[in-house]
Chain A
Amino acid sequence: MLSPEKLPSAEVLPAQLDQGVSPWLNAWHRLRRNHLAVFGGIVLIALSLLCVIGPWFSPYGYEQTDLYNTFSPPSASHWLGTDQLGRDLLTRLLFGGRISLMVGLVATFVALTIGVIYGAVSGFFGGKLDRVMMRVVDILYALPFTIFVILLMVFFGRNILLLFVAIGAVEWLTMARIVRGQIMSIKRMEFIEAARSLGLGTPRIIFRHMIPNILGPIIVYTTLTIPGVMLLEAFLSFLGLGVQPPMSSWGVLIKDGAERMEEYPWLLIFPGTIFSLTLFSLNFLGDGLRDALDVRSAKD
């Protein structure tokens, strides 16, 4: 386990308290005391840096084959070994990480946008509109959405942009529910009334005045949506429907590894470990943020 940085809590906090501590700073202090969340955060930052910068320092290209060196086990020249075409696994892992992390971020952003707007509208207007919109969410929850994503990917070509949109379009439901609940809980507050009496338009009230006040839950659920999104990408890639060769993603590498694990287990173990580690870190960070920002959980 990594050693967390020393906390300034005892000496510094009282002094800061005199000046008043913003809720965000307060949450930050609480987060830093959560070792697992800190660990998750550090792992995520390290992995992202490695994936972004690492490939430039690799002597190999991600699609550079070396047919004299196929399936070589981990060694000094190929730290994590090579695959069936002699491609360096470490390089492919880092390149694949770029794609996987990017899918995670972009598709989550799509989900976030849909979920926040949908939830905010539903919560803000309330009444009949809200009932219908939430009933739709309930129904969508009960649908075999993954099946539609599979159909989309098969029929419309395995295009990475489509992948982003398709995954994002599936994962927005929980966000919509959370945002709706939060909006409902603050919409009767005085500052909203004040904004209204100043004559501000509805979109401005929602986006300038309400959303910033519910950023906490939004951040927490965004962090917890990313692992779900990355899982779905890897799931699709595993079925051969996601990212296409010669490009790689962690899902693609796991698929390739699983096919050859009997003789060459490292091809499965390294990508599997990195992928699971990322999911771990995201979940720990998400849980830590939830506690730090004191978001009442809708799930556990």
Chain B
Amino acid sequence: MFRFIARRLLETIPVLFIIVTATFFMVRFVPGGPFDSEKATTPEIRANLEAYYGLNLPLHQQYTNYLKAIVQGDLGRSTKYASRTVNEIIADKLPASLQLGGLSLLIALVLGLSAGVIAAVKRNTKIDYIASSFAMVGICVPTFVLGPLLVLVFAIHLGWFSASGWYSWDDRILPSLTLGIVYAAGIARLTRGGMLEVLNLDYIRTARAKGASEARIIFRHALRGGLLPVVSYLGPAIAGILTGSFVIETIFQIPGLGREFVNSAFNRDYTLVLGTVILYAVLIISLNLIVDVVQVWLNPKLKFE
């Protein structure tokens, strides 16, 4: 296990390096720069700005300077808000996004697992059909349709929640639900499929023959095997939740990093774009690593692959 983790960690170094390099040069080579929007700047001001951000240096030097800085955890200064560093902006905006993502994942797991297990245990009954149809609806109604619809019904007509904002705990419910439901649906389908496959295996019959209670069979014996497809789905699901929050944060006007990222791309805020891409890459890669470790722990066969 230790060697597995060490190998995967080592692998992420070149991957991150490629991401940083690719994004860095993509951002530098695109037409349009951070200082040509809005007011026309005089050449002198422009030169000063470029000197301030080190953009007047030769490209390779900018690149090595940037690499040196990020190794020390310094993501530089925002080119849009000169007074703020990217680290500050991230520290300011990330918590809301993480909360949204965490809650959504929690909702997805709780809803999805329970629906999937119930559907599998009660397979081919009305309960199964209802759960499976809900899962299909969850998969086919995209977040940017579901979100506004939920707002329309629960905020505007029923007045239970506010339509936007991120102040009280009530404000967390609609956004996390919207973002979580798609993945709840996916998890429910995978859990149902995985459980159905496992419930037919010999070791379950053995457990049954030995007189284990139905609850014990499901939770103690079947779930561990039945969860395997769900765990491998969690990696893509986490990436999806993180990027899906761009839209959710826009719909519900949440002051999170997702919305900041999209805006920074529009503003061509070089350093902020780079910083957020790196941060998202690190987040997604490390969460995937955790998922992989859990997967190996659940299914020891994978260790010898």
Contacts and interface: CB of A to CB of B under 8 A. Distances in A.
Interface of A: 139, 141-147, 150-151, 154-156, 227, 231, 234-235, 238-239, 251, 254-255, 257-258, 261-262, 265, 268-269, 272, 275-276, 279-280, 283, 297, 299-300
A255 B243 contact: no
Contacts of A257: 148
B102 interface: no
A120 B26 CA distance: 30
Nearest to B250: A239
A143 B265 contact: no
Contacts of B192: 300
Contacts of B145: 254, 258, 268, 272, 275-276
B169 interface: no
Given A239-B246, A276-B141, A280-B136, A143 B152 contact: no
Contacts of A262: 152, 156
B82 interface: no
A145 B239 CA distance: 9
Interface residues of B, number: 49
Contacts of A279: 139-142
Contact of B235 (A141, A150, A234, A251): A141
Interface of B: 11, 15, 19, 23, 26-27, 30-32, 136, 139-142, 144-145, 147-149, 151-152, 156, 189-190, 192-194, 229, 235-236, 239, 242-243, 246-247, 250-251, 261-262, 265-266, 268, 273, 277, 280-281, 284-285, 288
A239 B262 contact: yes
A141 B281 CA distance: 12
| In the complex, the 9 A-B pairs of residues with the closest C-beta atoms, listed nearest first | A155-B30, A300-B193, A272-B145, A258-B148, A146-B243, A279-B140, A142-B288, A154-B265, A280-B140
Contact of A142 (B32, B193, B235): B235
Nearest to B189: A300
B140 A283 contact: yes
A145 B22 CA distance: 13
Given A257-B148, A275-B142, A144 B281 contact: yes
A154 B266 contact: yes
Nearest to A231: B142
Q: Which of A141, A144, A154, A269 has the most CB of B within 10 A?
A: A144
A239 B288 CA distance: 26
B142 A143 contact: no
Contacts of A255: 144
16 contacts: A142-B235, A142-B285, A143-B284, A144-B280, A144-B281, A147-B261, A147-B280, A155-B27, A155-B265, A155-B268, A227-B140, A251-B144, A258-B147, A269-B149, A272-B149, A283-B139
Q: Which of B265, B273, B285 has the most CB of A within 10 A?
A: B265
A261 B190 CA distance: 34
A139 B144 CA distance: 28
Contacts of B136: 280, 283
A299 B229 contact: yes
Contacts of B236: 141
Nearest to B288: A142
A276 B239 contact: no
Contact of B148 (A145, A151, A268, A297): A268
